[in-house]
Amino acid sequence: MTIRIAVDAMGGDNGPAVIVEGALAGARTQRATLLLVGNVAEIRTALSRLDTAGVDVEVVEATDVVAMDDHPAQAVRRKPQSSINVALRLIAEGRADAVVSAGNSGAVMAASLLVLGRVKGIERPAIASYIPTIKGKTLLLDLGAVTDPKPSNLVQFAEMGQVYVERILNVRNPTIGLLSNGEEPTKGNALVQQVHPLLAAEDDLNFVGNVEGKDVVMGTVDIVVTDGFTGNVALKTAEGVATFLMELMREEITATLPRKLAAYMLRPAFRSMRSKLDYAEIGGAPLLGVNGAVIIAHGRSSARAIESALSVGVRAAQFDLAGGIAERIARETTIPTDVAAKTTTIA
Amino acid sequence: MTIRIAVDAMGGDNGPAVIVEGALAGARTQRATLLLVGNVAEIRTALSRLDTAGVDVEVVEATDVVAMDDHPAQAVRRKPQSSINVALRLIAEGRADAVVSAGNSGAVMAASLLVLGRVKGIERPAIASYIPTIKGKTLLLDLGAVTDPKPSNLVQFAEMGQVYVERILNVRNPTIGLLSNGEEPTKGNALVQQVHPLLAAEDDLNFVGNVEGKDVVMGTVDIVVTDGFTGNVALKTAEGVATFLMELMREEITATLPRKLAAYMLRPAFRSMRSKLDYAEIGGAPLLGVNGAVIIAHGRSSARAIESALSVGVRAAQFDLAGGIAERIARETTIPTDVAAKTTTIA
């Protein structure tokens, strides 16, 4: 079955040309059908500069755009014809299997909740992303969907993360850590101290305890669970340090002529290093817990990042992530979720 | 005036020998008097292997030790003869001007509150540290003293950070950012949304608004204020990424013989890079808001890190950091602090 990916061509800081270029490359690599959603004239102009041979591309008109500084929830309600709303309706109407957007992430989430709705039993969706680590990849969630979650939300984040890593990476019984300011079970802010016993009480989660900031990039566990505020800060700090270090290295190795010559010989090493660090290679962040495969790409996404986000979208659709999460949560919710959470606290 | 630094020789994961080595080097560089506090036999053994010529060293006996896994507050009360308590009493008794400890940071804080007490008007102390950035240094606080602060605590963290940067770095009117999940004033968790208007209302703080995780290492502002949970996660994430990248680089540049040869030529570049990233060069983190100069060094501190922490201790004592904070807070507390905070909220 060919996967049909709808791409919000108007989202992102770099304009439709970059999105269209990346989406086309991604559709070609993934052998997916591409639905480009947005201003038809702008999309056609972008397409006219590219080689579309061999790719099944359709342009879907959307007459409005949610801006990066729009209030997310208000904008998606007031702009029903915005590219993100139109793209998501393609999933709801059965015309697309996944949506990729580099737009205002709050708006993507609000529109997803409005158009697709939450998976039954899920209290709050979460944004998840792979982080490059020494040992491979770690899934970090939430990255900003819920800045002040309830303890039971984080238990569901762990469950959704588990489904993602099991289905997409085929890792059985992935290890789960709770992000904290120390490894000891007594460490943590009030939220972490409430969540720790809840996670420890879940028999079907491979919870290994608290982990620290360094563990996010050390590959200590398969999944790191945290609130959306802390997760966002950790991700952006990691991106910042990576940028800083590559910049520092560039300065140092070009400081003198002999260094420049040696650096020239090391080009393959640097290229390989950059690719291991490049968040563009890691791709988009799936919005877990909504009824559909929705992939949020970075606002500053390059064409390469959009291409990578498409591959995440294809896999999310192929492996029926939303269906997997629904099954996983149904197992938990034979009694209502918040009652279950309370029971575990007492136990 | 010669500054007298008391060093908790028993604190840290690497044992007294490493601490003593670094402390001796620091005292020599800083021309400070050194008081080594702990097990006399172990300290003397460590000293016997080192050249102490030209350094004024005194060994002060402490018969107990707070372990890294001890409960901080309980341990400092139950072990009055622990090295950290004895070291801090040297400040209280006027025998030392600053204390450096690489021990259990919770215990250092609890002991500091017990032995030295808080600066008048300060609600909660904060742990602050310089972070290496593209543009120089940024002071990040709190790093773990207060995991669930009240909004008014963060305003005081900003004020204490301001005093630190003004006195020690001689930066006038340093810029202050509030760590958040987005730059817009509407972004943030509940705490950040409460703190933002309080900071904005303070005329004598150069508050520039919310900053993101990347800004911690980009040098966007002089001071980044956050709660101790998030600050700890951000710092340890940054350290983890730096370690990861240096490891990745080492692997890449030694992968083949030609790369090894080129890398050999680039040794000065790598050495310079490492020194700019090395958290050991940045040194210890002052505990701001207690009545005395207390410097918390990393538990895994190398001798070089302890040496650097001593230089932070000397400056904290020389520039009378605690006195500066007391003056700064006295300006604010002509009306009680929490009333002042409430007034600003309404305004």
Write the pLDDT tens digit of every residue in A160-204.
999 999 998 889 999 999 999 988 888 899 999 999 999 999 999
**Among B227, B232, B273, beta carbon nearest to A252:** B273
Rounded CA-CA distance A333/B185 in Å is 38
Q: Which residue of B has its CA nearest to A183?
A: B69
Residue B260 neighbours by CB distance under 10 Å: 12
Which residues make Cβ contacts (< 8 Å) with residue B142, sequence separation at least 6?
B126, B127, B128, B149, B157, B225, B226, B227, B228, B231
CB contact under 8 A, A213 and B227: no
CB contact under 8 A, A238 and B237: yes
CB contact under 8 A, A179 and B233: yes
Rounded CA-CA distance A125/A143 in Å is 11
pTM of the predicted structure, to 2 decimals: 0.90
Q: Report chain B residues whose CB lies below 8 A from the CB of A272.
A: 252
SS percent in chain B: helix, strand, coil, step 5: 50, 15, 30
Torsion of CA B257, B259, B260, B266, to 10 degrees: 160
The Cα of B58 is separated from the nearest Cα of chain A by a number of Å equal to 34
The Cα of B203 is separated from the nearest Cα of chain A by a number of Å equal to 27
Q: How many CB pairs under 8 A join A and B?
A: 191
Rounded CA-CA distance B25/B55 in Å is 9
Torsions phi, psi for B133 (to 5 deg): -135, 175
Q: Report chain B residues whose CB lies below 8 A from the CB of A218.
A: 240, 243-244
Q: Mean pLDDT across the stretch A264-287?
A: 76
Residue B8: asked if its preceding bond is cis (omega within 30°), the reply is no
What was the pLDDT predicted at B278?
64
- Tallying the residues shown for chain B, one arrives at 347
What was the pLDDT predicted at A278?
64
Answer for the pair A150, A123: CB distance below 8 angstroms, yes or no: yes
Rounded CA-CA distance B164/B175 in Å is 13
- Output the furthest CA–CA distance in chain B (Å, rounded): 70
**What would the pLDDT profile of B133-166 be if each residue is shown by its tens digit?**
877 889 999 999 999 999 999 999 999 999 999 9
Task: Scan for tokens 């290093």, then name that residue.
Answer: A273
Residues forming beta bridges with residue B136, ordered by sequence position: B133
Q: Which of B178, B180, B131 is nearest to B157 (CA)?
A: B178
Strand pairing category for A98-101 and A293-296:
parallel
- H helix intervals, chain A: 16-30, 40-48, 72-78, 83-92, 105-115, 151-168, 190-200, 213-218, 228-253, 257-265, 267-277, 279-282, 303-318, 321-332, 337-346
Which of A153, A187, A212, A244 is the best mutation test for B, with the most CBs of B within 10 A?
A244
Torsion of CA A195, A199, A200, A205, to 10 degrees: -170
Task: Scan for tokens 């061509």, then name that residue.
Answer: A9
Exposed/middle/buried for A222, CB within 10 Å: 0-12, 13-18, 19+? buried
Torsion of CA A51, A53, A54, A55, to 10 degrees: 50
What was the pLDDT predicted at A16?
92
Q: Which two tokens stand for residue A11?
A: 């989202």
Rounded CA-CA distance B19/B10 in Å is 8
Residues forming beta bridges with residue B38, ordered by sequence position: B61
Secondary structure of residue B68 in the 3-state scheme: coil
CB contact under 8 A, A181 and B233: yes
Q: Which of B202, B128, B204 is nearest to B172 (CA)?
A: B204
**Among A217, A230, A238, beta carbon nearest to B230:** A230
Which of A214, A215, A256, A259 is the best mutation test for B, with the most CBs of B within 10 A?
A214
Q: Which of B172, B174, B152 is nearest to B161 (CA)?
A: B174
Which of B150, B196, B215, B229 is the best mutation test for A, with the most CBs of A within 10 A?
B229
Q: Which residue has the higher pLDDT, B239 or B195?
A: B195
| pLDDT for A228 beyond 90 | yes
Q: Using the 8-state DSSP alphabet, how is residue A297 labeled? A: P
Task: Scan for tokens 């790191």, then name that residue.
Answer: A224
CB contact under 8 A, A248 and B134: yes
Rounded CA-CA distance A312/A318 in Å is 10
| pLDDT for B333 beyond 70 | no
Q: Which residue has the higher pLDDT, A334 or B125?
A: B125
Torsion of CA B199, B204, B207, B208, to 10 degrees: 140
The Cα of B100 is separated from the nearest Cα of chain A by a number of Å equal to 21
Q: Report chain B residues whose CB lies below 8 A from the CB of A261.
A: 265
| pLDDT for A346 beyond 80 | no
Amino acid found at A279:
Y
CB contact under 8 A, B240 and A265: no
Q: Report chain B residues whose CB lies below 8 A from the CB of A227.
A: 189
Secondary structure of residue A286 in the 3-state scheme: strand
B144-to-A1, A281, B312 alpha-carbon distances in Å: 52, 33, 19
Q: Which two tokens stand for residue B79?
A: 């072990």
Amino acid found at A3:
I
Q: Mean pLDDT across the stretch A49-55?
A: 93
What was the pLDDT predicted at A139?
94
CB contact under 8 A, B234 and A233: yes
| pLDDT for B113 beyond 70 | yes
Q: Which of A220, A274, A268, A197 is nearest to A242 (CA)?
A: A274
Rounded CA-CA distance A9/A20 in Å is 6
Rounded CA-CA distance A29/A25 in Å is 6
**What would the pLDDT profile of A97-141 be if each residue is shown by its tens digit?**
999 999 888 899 999 999 999 999 999 999 999 888 877 889 999
What percent of chain B lies above the pLDDT cut of 70? 94
Rounded CA-CA distance B240/B247 in Å is 11
Secondary structure of residue B2 in the 3-state scheme: coil
Q: Report chain A residues whose CB lies below 8 A from the CB of B148.
A: 189-190
| Residue B344's pLDDT band (cuts 50, 70, 90) | very low
Which residues make Cβ contacts (< 8 Å) with residue A342, sequence separation at least 6?
none
Which residues make Cβ contacts (< 8 Å) with residue A145, sequence separation at least 6?
A109, A124, A125, A126, A127, A228, A287
Which of B241, B256, B259 is the best mutation test for A, with the most CBs of A within 10 A?
B241
Q: Mean pLDDT across the stretch A289-300?
A: 91
- Tallying the residues shown for chain A, one arrives at 347
Q: Could you tell me the domains of chain B? A: 1-122+289-319 (3.40.718.10)
Answer for the pair B13, B39: CB distance below 8 angstroms, yes or no: no
Which residues make Cβ contacts (< 8 Å) with residue B89, sequence separation at least 6?
B115
Terminal-to-terminal C-alpha distance of chain B: 46
Task: Scan for tokens 């943030």, then name that residue.
Answer: B188
Answer for the pair B178, B209: CB distance below 8 angstroms, yes or no: yes
Q: Which of A80, A45, A43, A39 is nearest to A62 (CA)?
A: A39
What was the pLDDT predicted at B314?
94
**What would the pLDDT profile of B50-102 be if each residue is shown by its tens digit?**
999 999 999 999 999 988 778 888 888 999 999 999 999 999 999 999 999 99
| Residue B103's pLDDT band (cuts 50, 70, 90) | confident
What was the pLDDT predicted at A256?
84
| pLDDT for A343 beyond 60 | no
Question: What is the edge-to-edge ordering of all strands in the sheet holding B4-8?
Answer: B57-61, B33-38, B4-8, B98-101, B293-296, B285-288, B126-133, B136-141, B223-225, B175-179, B206-211
The Cα of A253 is separated from the nearest Cα of chain B by a number of Å equal to 6
**Among A69, A181, A232, beta carbon nearest to B147:** A181
Answer for the pair B274, B101: CB distance below 8 angstroms, yes or no: no
What was the pLDDT predicted at A281?
55
Strand pairing category for A126-133 and A98-101:
unpaired
Rounded CA-CA distance B310/B304 in Å is 10
CB contact under 8 A, A212 and B233: yes
Element (H, E) at A33: strand A33-38
Secondary structure of residue A2 in the 3-state scheme: coil
User: How much is the ipTM here?
Assistant: 0.89
**Among A188, A234, A277, beta carbon nearest to B234:** A234
Amino acid found at A123:
E
CB contact under 8 A, A147 and B190: yes
The Cα of A259 is separated from the nearest Cα of chain B by a number of Å equal to 6
